Amino acid sequence: MRAFHLAWLSLFSCYFSTFSIPPLLAVLRQDLNLSASDIGHAGTAAFAGSVFSRFAMGPACDLLGPRLASSALSLLTVPVVLSTAFISSAQSFVLLRFLIGFSLANFVASQFWMSSMFSGSVVGRANGVAAGWANVGAGLAQLVMPMIFSLIMSVGVSSSYAWRLAFVVPAIFQAVTALMVLAYGQDLPDGNYWSHNHPRKASSKPRENVFGVLLHGLKNYRGWILGLTYGYCFGVELTIDNIIAQYFYDRFNVDIRMAGAIAASFGLGNLVSRPLGGVLSDEMGQRFGMRGRLWSLWAVQTVAGLLCVLLGRVDSLWGSAVVMCCFSFFVQAASGLTFGVVPFISKRSLGVISGMTGSGGAVGAVVAQLLLFSGSNKFSTQTGISLMGLLMIVCTIPVGFIYFPKWGGMFCGPSKEPSSMDQDDYSLLE
Amino acid sequence: MAAHGEPLWSPSSTKAGEVLKAGQDQLTVTWSYNQTFPAGTDSAYKTVKVKLCYAPVSQVDRAWRKTVDNLDKDKTCQFKVVAKPYGPSNNSFTWTVEKDIPTATYFVRAYAYNSNGDEAAFGQTTDAHKTTNLFEIQAITGRHMSLDIASVCFSAFSIVSLFGFFYMEKRKGKLAQQK
């Protein structure tokens, strides 16, 4: 359990750091003379870095163990967060967000760590709760950063100094959690990788070729489909985290702390919604098998898409806030439901599939930001939000194409003779 | 609020075409009633508000500074210079540029209000296309030496502690293997 708390807390701090910038954009854009395009590019950059870092984190965990890999990444990104004190141009702002975004790879490390420490029957819940509680970091940052900023200003400091100083808080938090992971965490129930001479590899079947495992995962079409759908639930969640505070600030003329509070309620829903998504997936899996898991994923994500379309069209402040809360519940549950299906795709290449899905989330966020919220668009933010909802609905349809010979798919039952080729892929989590 | 009408004022500011430093330099604005308009048009004016407004070059790609006809939603002029009771001539005010004005290109606009608080007329220091007589303001940078040093020190601590732990892990591993 100590590993569980260390894992979600350190990932929480990474999300907190990455999303500590959006709530203060209204101040930053004046000080750094940012244009809407600059802000859009920076938002895209925040996720672009994580596409690669999430993919690379899988092998890094294999090599070093999740404890060292995740704390190394956290400690290496602390200087980046601190360098917020130095930036004074749009280019350095974009670079800053790009580099901080690397820390989001710790998601893969935390899921890997949970899978190593928890038994098969509860790993789904462990993953769901760890990821959900960590995502709350994005929401809490939206609430807390404006408060820290106002607190520093109330002492008499100018606004342009106050925001620079405010970023010391996420930096210290990230460093502390990383050091705690190093001091108190362990990779496996019986110890650490390095002190036990890689027992995980020694005790398993003959050492798999890393490339073989990688290729095996990449060839599995289900991993690609889930990467796409995760891109349009989790990716949308990341995009909303980036734009929502500014949206409420600009469209409804609320002050920076109120905008932060409203934006925070989006991310805070993760406390229950993502874990509930995982629980729903497990319940549907028990009653209806894989078909239940896939149908519930499709249904929840489609409802989330519809609510997103609605969010862009609501004209009142409180109407928007209410729709946003409902939307947050469904989109985060969809993320939890996605990782209720991921463990079943391949046992041999679980790390690769998780990495593909996780990267897909970041890619979805990058594409959504570039297409819809880059500042140089001809349409307004609210239209962009509605279009994103439509995109979500369309990109959830491929879930219907997922088919497991052993368990069936959304529209077809399991095949009568089990396919001999895929035999060892599905020997998992019975 | 209706769209802007004909300018009935002729404000002017010193320092057109110059760069002013926030918190330090001063701006002097003078304004008077435009005598070419019929006498008595200005009998409704009660107060004057002088504002600092973004020039179009600073509004490009920045929707939070957009000019819209509806004055309630217009975001062109976000900083108040001074508010004074109306007088037809000999009005001037010297303003020290406030510390929190951001870096951008500006012009000055003076609004006249009637007793209901509605905008009745306006005038600006630039032409109708907002291209002449603009001036720049340079904001105060938020960077401080003390924060820079603290950031560098803490970053160094972060990296050193990481490598420290790595080294300790390796040593523990070697010791465990030797046993």
Helix (H), strand (E), coil (C) string for chain B: CCCCCCCCECCEECCCCCEEECCCCEEEEEECECCCCCCCHHHHCCEEEEEEEECHHHCCCCHHHCCCCCCCCCCCEEEEEEEEECCCCCEEEEEECCCCCCCEEEEEEEEEECCCCCEEEEEECCCCCCCCCCEEEECCCCCCHHHHHHHHHHHHHHHHHHHHHHHHHHHHHHHHHHC
* Domains identified in chain A, total number: 2
Residue A6 lies in a domain: yes
Q: Count how many residues are written for chain B.
A: 179
- Does residue A391 carry a pLDDT above 90? yes
CB contact under 8 A, A76 and B63: no
Q: Are residues B117 and B70 in the same domain?
A: yes
Q: Are residues B58 and B130 in the same domain?
A: yes
Lowest mean pLDDT among A185-189, A374-378, B45-49: A374-378
Rounded to 5 degrees, what are φ and ψ at B81? -90, -55
pLDDT range class, residue A206, cuts 50, 70, 90:
very low
Q: Are residues B120 and B162 in the same domain?
A: no
Q: Which helix (H) or strand (E) holds A408?
A: strand A408-409
User: pLDDT (tens digit, 9 = 90+) per residue, A60-84?
Assistant: 777 777 888 899 999 999 999 999 9
- Does residue B19 carry a pLDDT above 60? yes
What is the domain range of residue B49?
2-138
Q: Are residues A111 and A257 in the same domain?
A: no
Q: Are residues A234 and A99 in the same domain?
A: no
In the numeric block, which tokens belong to residue A94?
């974009």
Report the alpha-carbon distance of residue A145 to residue B16 in Å, rounded.
39
Residue A199 lies in a domain: no
Q: Are residues B125 and B78 in the same domain?
A: yes
Q: Are residues A81 and A137 in the same domain?
A: yes
Q: Are residues B128 and B88 in the same domain?
A: yes
User: pLDDT (tens digit, 9 = 90+) per residue, A314-334?
Assistant: 989 999 999 999 999 999 999
Residue A203 lies in a domain: no
CB contact under 8 A, B161 and A75: yes
Q: Are residues B127 and B156 in the same domain?
A: no
Partners of A78 on chain B (C-beta within 8 Å) are 154-155, 158
Looking at CA atoms only, how far is residue B77 from chain A in angstroms?
A: 14
Q: Are residues B90 and B164 in the same domain?
A: no
DSSP A404: E
pLDDT recorded at residue B2: 28
Q: Which of B21, B24, B61 to mutate to test the interface with A (most CBs of A within 10 A)?
A: B61
Q: Are residues A147 and A228 in the same domain?
A: no
Looking at CA atoms only, how far is residue B4 from chain A in angstroms?
A: 23
Task: Give the global pTM.
Answer: 0.82
CB contact under 8 A, B63 and A250: yes
Rounded to 5 degrees, what are φ and ψ at A89? -145, 165
Q: Specify the amino acid at residue A187.
A: D
Q: Are residues A34 and A160 in the same domain?
A: yes
Q: Are residues A269 and A327 in the same domain?
A: yes
CB contact under 8 A, A29 and B64: yes
Residue A340 lies in a domain: yes
Name the maximum alpha-carbon separation found in chain A. 75
Q: Are residues A223 and A313 in the same domain?
A: yes
Lowest mean pLDDT among A232-246, A338-352, B100-114: A338-352
- The CATH number given to whatever domain includes residue B97 is 2.60.40.1930
Looking at CA atoms only, how far is residue A73 from chain B in angstroms?
A: 10
Q: Are residues A56 and A127 in the same domain?
A: yes
Complex ipTM above 0.85? no
Q: Are residues A232 and A375 in the same domain?
A: yes
Q: Are residues B68 and B148 in the same domain?
A: no
Looking at CA atoms only, how far is residue B54 from chain A in angstroms?
A: 12
B119, β-bridge pairs: B113
- In which region does residue B17 sit, left (phi positive, over 0), alpha (psi from -120 to 50) or beta (all else)? left
Q: Specify the amino acid at residue B71.
A: L
Q: Are residues A376 and A283 in the same domain?
A: yes
Report the alpha-carbon distance of residue B54 to residue A282 in Å, rounded.
57
pLDDT recorded at residue B14: 62
Q: Which helix (H) or strand (E) holds A267?
A: helix A256-268
- Smallest Cβ–Cβ distance between B143 and the set A86, A195, A196 belongs to A86
- The CATH number given to whatever domain includes residue A138 is 1.20.1250.20
Lowest mean pLDDT among A41-45, A423-427, B167-171: A423-427
User: pLDDT (tens digit, 9 = 90+) per residue, A361-373?
Assistant: 999 999 998 888 8
First vs last C-alpha separation in chain A: 23
Q: Are residues B53 and B127 in the same domain?
A: yes
Assess contact for A330 and A393: CB atoms under 8 A: no
Residue A241 lies in a domain: yes
Q: What is the mean pLDDT of residues A327-351?
A: 85
Residue A63 lies in a domain: yes
What is the domain range of residue A396?
217-405
User: Among all residues of chain B, which has the CA nearest to that of A64?
Assistant: B166
Q: Are residues B90 and B162 in the same domain?
A: no
CB contact under 8 A, A375 and B140: no
* Domains identified in chain B, total number: 2
- Smallest Cβ–Cβ distance between B173 and the set A71, A79, A195 belongs to A195
Q: Are residues B92 and B115 in the same domain?
A: yes
Which whole-number Å values give the CA distances from A61 to A44, A77, A111, B166, B170, in the listed order?
A: 26, 17, 11, 15, 17
The pairing of beta strand B91-96 with beta strand B47-54:
unpaired
Name every residue whose Cβ is closer than 8 Å to that of residue B49 and which is 6 or more positions away in sequence. Answer: B80, B82, B83, B110, B111, B113
Q: Are residues B118 and B178 in the same domain?
A: no
